[in-house]
Every structure is written in structure tokens, then in C-alpha cells.
Structure 1
Amino acid sequence: MKEQASLLDAFRLDGRVAVVTGGARGIGYATAQLFTAAGARTVLLDVDEAAAAQAAATLGPLASSMQLDVSVEGDVNRVFGEIAAARGRIDILVNNAGMALRRPSTELSLADWQRVVDVNMTGVFLCARAAAGHMLRSGGGAIVNTASIMGVSGGGLYPNISYQATKGAVVNMTRALAVEWAGGGIRVNAVAPTWVDTDFIGSLKANPELMDRIRSVTPLGRLAQPQEVANAILFLASPAAAMVTGHVLAVDGGYLAQ
């Protein structure tokens, strides 16, 4: 039993400082919950300051929160600087903040396209760049980006071009940054979830026919739960994945295997 416990220590995050964007709810909150249980001092960042504070309060003394719009460069640099100054380091970043505007491409305005790009693509870059600056000075770290099955698939159940395009960008950004920062000891990976049972797909869940179609195209026949995605994120962020970088891990019930 002692040997088994020591092997499982590879999934512990004791002493590490973790930052989770979009941490107030859904996948972000489930990840923060798991990280604190694994021993990490975890900062929940979210554009909704009150929700982030309330979420952090449920997680105990290892959790804290700050307000952040990931699309604002100056705010990103300031917040990550404050976290590093207060805690001495940043070891883990989970780039989870995201949004979707599910509209036909011919009806998607340039302004709405840009809103999604700013959060889903530029925000991921800004936060990764800010975190990496601190990680490189302290000897390395781990970054996990939230991509999507729609980043490697055309989908087709409904129009969602700005989300699909930006999540595809996250997939290749993950690979490019993994190669660029490997020499500095930073591992960069991503998860690609299927439809997850959160408020993020609230409008989809209101359509029973669409939900039946989603389940029918998923070999396991159901939505993912936030905790199931968080489990994969913990693996990629932990020492257990020390030889894994540039990888996109599908948490999709077999959707991409078809």
C-alpha cells in the first residue's frame, strides 16, 4: 500500500501555484476543486468577479479569486504579475475561459466574430505568454488549454464557425508553444472536450431533439461531466505527465474516433 501511495503522489500538486481562467463555474470550477484537493494554491480568474469569489469561498483556504477579462492585455499582465508577486511563482495555468456565439456564418457580424476571437484565441495567447514569463524564470511549469472536439472537427449539428475556428487555433497554438517553450521546462497541452453538461450549453440543452442527436453521435451516448474533463486536466498539469507535451487529449466519449 505504501508503494501504491508513492506512485499516486505523481498526481499531487502540493506546493504548486495554479491559475485557472474561467474558474467560476463549469470545467474551470471543477478543475479548481480538484487542484485544491491535490494540494495546489489555486487562483480562480473570471470576468464575473462575484461568481469567482463565491466559487473560491467554497474550496477552502487554498483557493482565492481575482477578476480578469482575458482579452485585455494590460489586465492580464497586471493580474499574473500580482499573483506571482504574492505567491512567489506560477507553476500551472489552465487556459479555460471561453465563449460561443452559435449563429449561421452569413449572419455573424465582424464585431461578434472578433468578440469570440478576442476571448477564445487572443485570451489564450495572452494568458499563456504572461504565465510563461514567470515560469521561465522559475524553471518551468505546465499549461493546459481548453480546446474542443470542434477544434479538430467540422461538427455540423449547428453553425458555430467562430468557436470552431478559434478552438482550432488553440489546438495548433498548443503544439507550437509546446515546441517553443520545451527548452525552458514548460509543458503545454490541451484537452478537447465533447459537449459538457454545464450552463455553457444551456441553450442547446433546451432543445431535446438536438440533445438526442448529440447523444446519438457520441459512442458513449451521453454528455461529459465537468469533473471528467477536470480529471484529464489534472493529469496533464501534474508530474504524472512529465513526458507529455504538445498533446491534445480528447475527452469526448469516442466522438473523434469515428
Structure 2
Amino acid sequence: MSILDRFRMDGEVAIVTGGASGIGAAVVEALREAGASVIVADRNGEPSLDVADERAVDAFFADVVRRHGRLDVLVNNAGIAIRHPTLELSSADWNSVVAVNMTGMFLCARAAARHMLPAGEGRIVNTASVMGLSGGLYPNVSYQTTKGAIVNMTRALAIEWARTGIRVNAVAPWFVRTALTAGVLDRPGMQAEIEAATPMGRLAEPEEIAGAFLYLASRASGMVTGHTLPVDGGFLAR
């Protein structure tokens, strides 16, 4: 098998949560270009899925396997951000972010593994964030905390499932031009501050993040598990 063939995903089935827009939509396109059959799961799409709803998650994954006969890849991407300084962050908002960004990723990973384990193979790629590897540039404690949890959840699941054939990795994007970051980038001076803090001097585009997901979702990364890959224009290297 050539190295380029290892990036091919012909005949494989993938689920991408939060795949209707932004990074998720770019990942969906990348996996489809690589030959995978991709099912998009998103609260704002069709079919709709609330990743924080345990019964809905289990039923959704079971239905995908029933209809397609297999599940090879989960891109665990659904996430939200509620940005307030800590003293202004309500417990309800905190719980909302935790439910989607942390509990939702756990529920989806668990549901995927239940179907991957009998097959003896599978790949799970979580969406973390550079905010989970640093203190960030502005107050956003619920997002930063949950994304940090994803980094260690990735390690823990990778170790637990390493001998089963399931690999678990994560991608940690920096600021990307998406609807999720629009509210931040619209703040006066914020984009300039972000660009100044980024050695490459610019924001990322969703397509630039998608390549990292394709690598970790494909057999090209066959010996990689428990890793979080930052795509950050050099921010963490400073």
C-alpha cells in the first residue's frame, strides 16, 4: 500500500458530529473526498442529534450501524462556547457547555466504541482546542476547562482501548474563521491581537484544520494514539 493509499477511506463509514458547518463541514468534505461514506450528526442538521442526550446518541449510532453495516470512524466535533468572565458565568451556562463539550464527547465515544470493539478496529478523533492547552487570550473558563478535559479524555481512552484496535486522538485548532468564533473576532482589536499572538500572523481556515482530522482518521496514522495535534500557526511554540 502506498503512502497516499493510506489516506484513502474507500468503503469506510464515518460519523461527524457538529458536521453541518465550520470545521465539521470541512472535515465532512475531506473524508468524503477520501472515499468515506459520511453521516453528519448536528443539532442544526438532518438527521438531528443532541450529543448530550444519552438515549438519542445510543440510538443514533445503532441506527447508523444497522443501515450501513459498520462504523469505522467517529469525528467527535460537536461543541459550543458561552463566553463570560468567570464572575458573570452562571452555573446554568457552565452546565450547558460541560454537557455538550465534555459529556457529549464521552457519550459519542462510548457509543462508537461499542460498535468498533466487535470489529477489532476503529478511529476516534476528538475536537479539542489550543484553549485546552493554554490559558487563552480572554476569559472563557467553561470552554477552556472542557477542552482541557478532552485532551486528557483522549489520552485515557487511547490507553484503555489501545490493544483492541481502536485509536483515539484529538485535533486542537487555534482561531479559525467560523460562526463559532465570529462573536470574538467582531470585538474591536481582537483579531489584531490574535494575529499578533500567532507566529504565522493570521487565522486558520476550516480546510487547513480538516487535513489534520483526515490524517488521524485514516490508516496513514496507524501508530498514533493518545495524541493531541495542535493546528495553531505556531502559537504553542512561543
What TM-score results when the alignment is normalised by the length of structure 2?
0.98
Out of 29, 33, 36, which is 1:37 matched to? Answer: 33
2:120 corresponds to which residue?
A: 139
Out of 76, 80, 90, which is 2:61 matched to? Answer: 80
2:235 corresponds to which residue?
A: 255
- In the TM superposition, residue 183 of structure 1 has moved relative to its aligned partner by 1.3
Moved beyond 3 Å, runs of 4+: none
1:152 corresponds to which residue?
A: 133
1:220 corresponds to which residue?
A: 200
- In the TM superposition, residue 137 of structure 1 has moved relative to its aligned partner by 1.0
Please show how residues 61-210 of structure 1 align to structure 2 within 5 Å: 66-155=47-136, 157-210=137-190
- In the TM superposition, residue 115 of structure 1 has moved relative to its aligned partner by 0.1
1:48 corresponds to which residue?
A: 44
**3-state SS of paired residue (2:171):** strand
CA–CA distance in 1 between the matches of 2:14 and 2:3?
A: 22
Is the 2:122–2:166 contact (alpha carbons within 8 Å) kept by the matching residues of 1? yes
Q: Can you list the C-alpha shifts for 1:134-187, whole angstroms capped at 9, x where unaligned?
A: 0001111000000000101011x2110000000000000000000001111000
CA–CA distance in 2 between the matches of 1:48 and 1:124?
A: 17
Equivalences, count: 238
CA–CA distance in 2 between the matches of 1:132 and 1:212?
A: 42
What TM-score results when the alignment is normalised by the length of structure 1?
0.91
- In the TM superposition, residue 245 of structure 1 has moved relative to its aligned partner by 0.2
2:212 paired with 1:232: yes
- In the TM superposition, residue 188 of structure 1 has moved relative to its aligned partner by 0.2
CA–CA distance in 2 between the matches of 1:22 and 1:118?
A: 14
CA–CA distance in 2 between the matches of 1:100 and 1:120?
A: 9
* Same amino acid, percent of matched pairs: 58
- In the TM superposition, residue 208 of structure 1 has moved relative to its aligned partner by 4.0
1:10 corresponds to which residue?
A: 6
Q: Can you list the C-alpha shifts for 1:207-255, whole angstroms capped at 9, x where unaligned?
A: 2401100000000011111011110000001000000000000000000
Q: Match of 2:154, as an amino acid?
A: T
Is the 2:173–2:209 contact (alpha carbons within 8 Å) kept by the matching residues of 1? yes
CA–CA distance in 2 between the matches of 1:139 and 1:179?
A: 15
Is the 2:18–2:24 contact (alpha carbons within 8 Å) kept by the matching residues of 1? yes
CA–CA distance in 2 between the matches of 1:208 and 1:12?
A: 43
Is the 2:42–2:48 contact (alpha carbons within 8 Å) kept by the matching residues of 1? yes
- In the TM superposition, residue 93 of structure 1 has moved relative to its aligned partner by 0.3
Q: Can you list the C-alpha shifts for 1:116-136, whole angstroms capped at 9, x where unaligned?
A: 000000000000000000000
CA–CA distance in 1 between the matches of 2:186 and 2:3?
A: 44
- In the TM superposition, residue 7 of structure 1 has moved relative to its aligned partner by 2.5
CA–CA distance in 1 between the matches of 2:99 and 2:218?
A: 29
Query: Any unmatched runs of 5+ in structure 2?
Result: none
Which protein has greater RCO, CA pairs closer than 8 Å, 6+ apart? 2
CA–CA distance in 1 between the matches of 2:85 and 2:187?
A: 17
Query: Any unmatched runs of 5+ in structure 1?
Result: 54-65
Is the 2:3–2:220 contact (alpha carbons within 8 Å) kept by the matching residues of 1? no
